[in-house]
Chains A and B, each alone.
Chain A
Amino acid sequence: DGGITQSPKYLFRKEGQNVTLSCEQNLNHDAMYWYRQDPGQGLRLIYYSQIVNDFQKGDIAEGYSVSREKKESFPLTVTSAQKNPTAFYLCASSYREGFSYEQYFGPGTRLTVT
């Protein structure tokens, strides 16, 4: 089955620790995205990548980092510099960046930092 997988589903960390969220897709999509979702708010874009070895900051990139070494994988690291890391994180992909292409979403990772 083609799709996007995110792991783990739930993640708990102590304040001050870095944590990496996994996102893998087998849809042969060029573009991948990371969003953050907080209660009562719309999704906000953290980082996106249009092609391997290239990525751009979204609206709320501070305290996050990404890499895109393979087409299928786009891991997100939440660093200790992120002031409010507890949130639901969603990864998405699309065939290419552009207006014709729908974004497909993974099941999400809920991160709790205490």
Chain B
Amino acid sequence: KQEVTQIPAALSVPEGENLVLNCSFTDSAIYNLQWFRQDPGKGLTSLLLIQSSQREQTSGRLNASLDKSSGRSTLYIAASQPGDSATYLCAVMDSNYQLIWGAGTKLIIKP
């Protein structure tokens, strides 16, 4: 059964730093991996989607990588800003087209 893990559960860094969020999954048979952002009490916003055949995707200050063989993905945030404070969730799409979710990393950027 696919399991998705995000470590750490929470992270606090000073403004301006570059940072990496981690996501690992147990079964490499995935169609894609997605990173989402969730602000407190709100819905989810899709940040990046990486198809299984791709190695990385970039959007602005965000870069996500995917290594299927090792079951790992990273979300790199450059030059962090207080507005980046949120919970970041990763999810993998399994062979049944279902999203399997990690519990998220709560990110706090200190001004």
Interface of chain B: mostly helix, strand, loop or mixed:
strand
Complex CA distance for A100 and B51, rounded to whole angstroms: 8
Q: How far is the CA of A4 from the CA of B44 in the complex (A)?
A: 11
Q: Which of A58, A97, A105 contacts B43 (CB 8 A)?
A: A105
Contact across chains for A99 and B32 when beta carbons are under 8 A apart: yes
Decide: A105 and B45 in contact? CB cutoff 8 A: yes
Q: Is the beta-carbon distance between A110 and B41 smaller than 8 angstroms?
A: yes
> B93 — which chain A residues lie within 8 A by C-beta?
99
Contact across chains for A107 and B42 when beta carbons are under 8 A apart? yes
The verdict on B107 contacting chain A, using a C-beta distance below 8 Å, is: no
Does B89 touch A at the CB level, under 8 Å? yes
B97, A43: Cβ atoms closer than 8 Å: no
Residue among B4, B46, B97 making CB contact with A42, cutoff 8 Å:
B4
Assuming the contacts A41-B103, A43-B91, asked whether A102 and B34 have C-beta atoms less than 8 A apart, the reply is: yes
Measured CB to CB, the nearest residue on chain B to A96 is B97
Is A63 an interface residue, CB under 8 A from the partner? no
Given A42-B104, A99-B32, A105 and B97 contact (CB-CB distance below 8 Å): no
- Contact pick for B103, options A4, A42, A45, A100, CB 8 Å: A42
- The verdict on A95 contacting chain B, using a C-beta distance below 8 Å, is no
| Residue of B whose beta carbon sits closest to that of A39 | B103
3 cross-chain pairs, A with B, having the tightest CB-CB distances, nearest first: A42-B101, A99-B31, A105-B43
